[in-house]
């Protein structure tokens, strides 16, 4: 292992010399081994042939002694082998296989005749052959010879090989020392260039390629590598300079981010402090963890007085239990609650109504960590609804007591139409609250809570943080728009309530002074009817086309009756347009002078009227709408007849729209 380590640490010049010498030595040793093996094999074969010839001659000489059973003569014949110095011993065996005569000092033949043939053992060569006389085998001859001649030959070869080996190594060493310079010189130049590049960082060093061989290719590759390193080093220096400038800009940007962070905190604080709705966040145990200023004002305390408490600390047990169950259901199912009307009773006995939406509060990983919600005070709306219900009840009772069933039916329907507008406005408020973006405040709060310990870094490096300011600005605009829409709906609701008062007052006057009339403008009556249905028309995207005669005359009539007829006709036209699902929902209203009367024509491009229904459409209780009661057109036809006019309908069939025409005289007919 140490020798291998020393070899691996040697110079390439020394390694090349050692490799050449080792290859030369191995080649010479293999050649000498081949020659020696060949010499041993051929020389042994020659020895076998020589000993075989000697055995044949000796066997012929001793054949006669075996015939005459003359061991002495046989021994004398064997003695003739003394002239061969390599013969160690010999033995003649008789026909019975026993030794007959022997030769050799101290030679002990085998007791029985060995097998015929030759054998090398113990450094000697033995040979056995049969002895024949006149063609018959009369015995056997056993000869043993040493291998000194072979050993002497091998010694001579070893001397010659040693001399050749030494001379060859000397020649190889001289040649390799001279020739290795051709290969080592370019490699040594590469090594020197590599040291310069590594120690001095001088990547402009280049090596000249002198030969177009593998080393030349290596030199070219090395030069290319240095060129690439030099280019990358230059590029890296440029990148370092650019990164330094970027860090300077990031530091400046971080300072700007801190300023923006303070501004965004102010925006969020402004939202929580100035929203008129109660916004709150709760944990999984329904404990308050944050709330808006409106909620603090609602209970006359600060946020510290609410955080950590539950609804059981603020409301009676009935409402608190219901709210707790709703929130636990949200935690279990992750399903939000939108637009739920809740009757709240505070611990001090104050009763209020609220429109509440609650959603699950999730962390960054999407796990539900609590709930958050918004509650809007609708106590005034509920009080108005209660007042309307009371008016309805009183009106029905009064009508029944006076025996005016027809008047009561008409009043109920007219009030119901206005109540529908109030219901629509309430539904719009509920839908707006359900679609409110306030639930996204929970995600924003969770996001800021996750990074509350490192907010500057979060706003400086996280792309989501850069979206908070635009998002809050967008959210503020959205809440402003929602407030404007809700204010508009509440104003419309108030106007409808005032209209109900007018209807009730009109019916009371009608009951007391039947037939009170006044001069009215047909255009103003139509515009009032459209204003009554303005929200519904806008919501269902129905376009109204007005075609008024500029020279219309005023009429003397009961304006409340006319207004109720027009409101009902416009509402029916809106329903007809909505049910046909046409993209171009249109209502056309025409006002024309007709001599001594004025014609109100209200046409739509809605579902139309089947021919079989045209004859029944003004019957009491007949309706084609699911939630209709069949009073509107019937009472309208009666009112038109009482004012000396008429109400008619026309339609070309289903899908072709319909047109209702109200003809009224300029002056009321004489009373009967």
**Tokens 């240095």 sit on residue:** 226
CA dihedral 486, 487, 490, 496 (to 10 degrees): -120
**Tokens 């060949």 sit on residue:** 38
Q: What is the mean pLDDT of residues 202-219?
A: 67
Q: Is the pLDDT of residue 509 over 60?
A: no
- Token pair listed for 300: 């006359």
Find the length of the chain: 672
What is the structure's pLDDT at 355? 92
What DSSP assignment string belongs to 152-219? HHHHHHHHHHHHHHHHHHHHHHHHHHHHHHHHHHHHHHHHHHHHHHHHH--TT------SSSHHHHHH
Handedness of CA 110, 116, 121, 126 (dihedral sign): positive
Which of 105-119, 181-195, 389-403, 581-595 is predicted with the least confidence, judged by mean pLDDT?
389-403
How many CB atoms are closer than 10 A to CB 463? Answer: 6
CATH topology of domain 2-172: Beta-Lactamase (3.30.450)
Residue 639 near residue 561 (C-beta atoms within 8 A): yes
What confidence category does residue 558 fall into, taking pLDDT thresholds of 50, 70 and 90? confident
Q: What is the mean pLDDT of residues 282-299?
A: 90
Of 219 and 524, more confident: 524
Closest CA to 364 of 262, 458, 445: 445
What is the structure's pLDDT at 402? 39
418 contacts: CB under 8 Å, gap ≥ 6: 496, 499, 500, 503, 532
Closest CA to 469 of 323, 330, 264: 264
What is the structure's pLDDT at 8? 59
CATH topology of domain 517-665: Heat Shock Protein 90 (3.30.565)
Rounded CA separation 490/383 (Å) = 13
Task: Kindly report, residue by residue over 419-433, the tens digit of the pLDDT.
Answer: 776 777 777 777 766
Q: Using only C-alpha atoms, what is the Rg of the chain?
A: 63
Residue 587 near residue 573 (C-beta atoms within 8 A): yes
Question: Which residues lie across from 543 on neighbouring strands?
Answer: 586
Of 285 and 175, more confident: 285
Domain boundaries, the chain: 2-172, 517-665
How many CB atoms are closer than 10 A to CB 255? Answer: 12
Task: Kindly report, residue by residue over 139-189, the tens digit of the pLDDT.
Answer: 888 888 888 777 777 788 888 888 888 888 788 777 776 666 666 666 666
Question: Which residues lie across from 132 on neighbouring strands?
Answer: 137
pTM of the predicted protein model:
0.32
Most confidently modeled range among 185-194, 420-429, 479-488: 479-488
Task: Kindly report, residue by residue over 73-117, the tens digit of the pLDDT.
Answer: 888 888 878 878 888 888 988 888 788 888 888 788 888 888 888
Closest CA to 180 of 153, 156, 154, 215: 215
Question: Which residues lie across from 137 on neighbouring strands?
Answer: 132
Mean pLDDT taken over the chain = 79
Closest CA to 257 of 463, 471, 43, 523: 463
Of 443 and 22, more confident: 22
Task: Kindly report, residue by residue over 624-636, the tens digit of the pLDDT.
Answer: 776 666 667 888 8
């Amino acid at each position: 292992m140490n020798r291998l380590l020393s070899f691996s640490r040697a110079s390439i010049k020394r390694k090349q010399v050692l490799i050449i010498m080792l290859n030369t030595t191995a080649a010479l040793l293999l050649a000498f081994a081949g020659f020696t093996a060949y010499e041993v094999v051929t020389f042994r074969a020659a020895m076998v042939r020589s000993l075989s010839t000697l055995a044949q001659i000796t066997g012929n000489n001793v054949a006669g002694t075996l015939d005459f059973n003359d061991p002495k003569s046989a021994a004398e014949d064997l003695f003739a082998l003394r002239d061969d110095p390599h013969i160690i011993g010999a033995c003649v065996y008789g026909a019975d296989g026993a030794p007959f005569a022997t030769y050799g000092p101290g030679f002990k033949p085998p007791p029985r005749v060995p097998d015929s043939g030759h054998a090398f053992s113990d450094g000697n060569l033995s040979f056995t052959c049969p002895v024949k006389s006149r063609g018959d085998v009369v015995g056997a001859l056993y000869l043993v010879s040493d291998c000194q001649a072979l050993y002497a030959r091998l010694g001579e070869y070893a001397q010659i090989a040693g001399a050749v080996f030494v001379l060859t190594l000397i020649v190889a060493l001289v040649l390799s020392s001279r020739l290795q310079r051709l290969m080592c010189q370019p490699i040594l130049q590469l090594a020197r260039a590599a040291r310069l590049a590594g120690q001095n960082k001088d990547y402009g060093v280049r090596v000249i390629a002198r030969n177009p061989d593998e080393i030349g290719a290596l030199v070219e590759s090395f030069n290319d590598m240095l060129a690439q390193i030099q280019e990358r080093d230059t590029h890296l220096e440029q990148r370092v300079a650019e990164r330094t400038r970027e860090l300077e800009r990031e530091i400046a940007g971080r300072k700007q981010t801190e300023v923006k962070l303070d501004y965004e905190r102010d925006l969020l604080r402004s939202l929580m402090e100035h929203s008129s709705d109660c916004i709150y966040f709760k944990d999984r145990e329904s404990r308050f963890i944050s709330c808006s200023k409106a909620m603090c004002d609602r209970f006359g305390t600060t946020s510290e007085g609410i955080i950590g408490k539950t609804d059981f600390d603020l409301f009676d047990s009935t409402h608190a239990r219901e709210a707790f169950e709703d929130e636990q259901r949200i935690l279990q199912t992750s399903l939000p609650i939108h637009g739920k009307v809740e009757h709240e009773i505070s611990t001090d006995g104050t009763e209020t109504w609220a429109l509440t939406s609650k959603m699950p509060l999730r962390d960054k990983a999407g796990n539900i960590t609590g709930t958050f919600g918004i509650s809007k005070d609708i106590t005034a709306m509920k009080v108005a609804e209660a007042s309307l219900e009371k008016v309805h009840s009183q009106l029905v009772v009064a009508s029944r007591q006076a025996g005016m069933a027809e008047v009561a039916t008409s009043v109920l329907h007219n009030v119901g139409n206005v109540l529908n507008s109030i219901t629509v406005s309430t539904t719009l408020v509920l839908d707006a609250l359900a679609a409110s973006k306030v639930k996204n405040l929970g995600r924003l709060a969770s996001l800021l809570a996750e990074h509350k310990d490192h907010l500057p870094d979060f706003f400086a490096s996280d792309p989501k943080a850069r979206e908070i300011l635009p998002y809050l600005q967008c959210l503020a605009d959205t809440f402003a728009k929602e407030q404007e829409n809700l204010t508009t709906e509440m104003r419309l609701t108030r106007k409808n309530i005032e209209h109900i008062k007018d209807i009730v007052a009109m019916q009371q006057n009608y009951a007391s002074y039947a037939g009170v009339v006044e001069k009215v403008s047909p255009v103003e009556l139509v515009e009032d009817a459209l204003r009554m249905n303005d929200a519904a028309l806008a919501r269902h995207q129905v376009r109204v086309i007005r075609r008024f005669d500029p020279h219309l005359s005023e009429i003397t009539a009961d304006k409340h009756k006319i207004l109720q007829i027009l409101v009902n006709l416009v509402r029916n036209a809106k329903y007809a347009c909505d049910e046909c699902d046409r993209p171009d929902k249109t209502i056309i209203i025409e006002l024309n002078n007709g001599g001594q009367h004025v014609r109100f024509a209200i046409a739509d491009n809605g579902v139309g009227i089947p021919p079989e229904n045209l004859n029944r459409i003004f019957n009491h209780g007949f309706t084609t709408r699911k939630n209709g009661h069949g009073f509107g057109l019937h009472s309208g036809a009666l009112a038109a007849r009482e004012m000396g006019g008429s109400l008619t309908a026309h339609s070309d069939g289903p899908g072709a729209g319909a047109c209702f025409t109200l003809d009224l005289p300029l002056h009321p007919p004489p009373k009967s």
